Amino acid sequence: TNESTKKILTMTTTTMRSSHSCVFAVVLLALAAQGAQGFSVTPSTTKFRPTILAAAAQEYGDGMDQEAMMESDMLIVVDGNDVVVHDVVASKKQAHAFNSEQPRGIAHRAFSFFLFNKNNEMLLTRRADSKITFPGVWTNTACSHPIHGMTPNEVDEVPAAYPNFPGIKHASIRKLKHELGIDPMYVPHDGIQFISRFHYWAADTKTYGSETPWGEHEVDYVLFLHCKDVEPVVVANPDEVDEFKYVSIEGLKEMFEDPSLTWSPWFRGIMEGGAFDWWEDLDNSMAGKNTHPEVHFFDPPKDHFASYND
């Protein structure tokens, strides 16, 4: 390592507000400055973690595996109209448990984030094969949940919070950093546009078969961000994302026709429920002209019904 690279890494560990993803981004920049070409995130790059992260600040997800986050994340339980049920708190594990006594899990709040670059292409991701629920499926940029006990607060009250929904936007900024290493500087809070909400459920039969113990039951917020000027640096967390790519509208439609690819049921439902139109009309969507307050319900495809589902 030359002296300029040492200086960059020293500045990183002493002055930067870091998670492992953010540190990885700086490491990549340092290597790029030395002339590295076509550098990509592979399991071998994780060798940087033990030494650099010693000085990094503890942030969401640090030192936690998928099982730990399933136990510790306390989700926002809602009714079918997205009103918070304050006297019920469920862990991520409890809310996603599907069985004959709880055939559709526990309804909770979630978001599906769609990030577009200057070419109006969407950042598409494939969930890590190590994920507990819906592993290995292609989906939108990031999919996760607002949770209780976070600072800034991630619990929005409806209908009062419409259409700004500051809490769920805070949650999306947190998860973009955790899953994709996208620094918050690329995700201005006031640049995120709420579009719509979908209420759906789906059993994870693709992974576990007809007796699956897992599924989703969410009121899912659709959030758009259009990065017209600077494309965010993406450093995927291998515990969350196995692949990512930017796709055009036509490119995504072609991927949908590929029988070898599997998709998250919420992403397919959102795209079929209006997202292609909102994408084609991206400027107006970002101006709020395609935003609406209704919560739209959809059932999953039949192949996402478990044996105990009606």
Which residues form the catalytic set? 143, 218
What are the phi and psi torsion angles at 205 (to 5°)?
-75, -25
3-state secondary structure of 44: helix
The alpha carbon of residue 91 and the mean position of all alpha carbons in its chain are separated, in whole angstroms, by 18
> Taken in order 57, 61, 67, 68, is the CA torsion positive or negative?
positive
Question: What percentage of the chain's residues is helix, strand, coil (to nearest 5)?
Answer: 35, 25, 40
The alpha carbon of residue 187 and the mean position of all alpha carbons in its chain are separated, in whole angstroms, by 13
Q: How far, in Å, CA of 296 to CA of 273, rounded?
A: 9
Q: How many residues does the chain have?
A: 310
Which strand (E) or helix (H) includes residue 99? none
3-state secondary structure of 274: helix
* Token pair belonging to 85: 């049920």
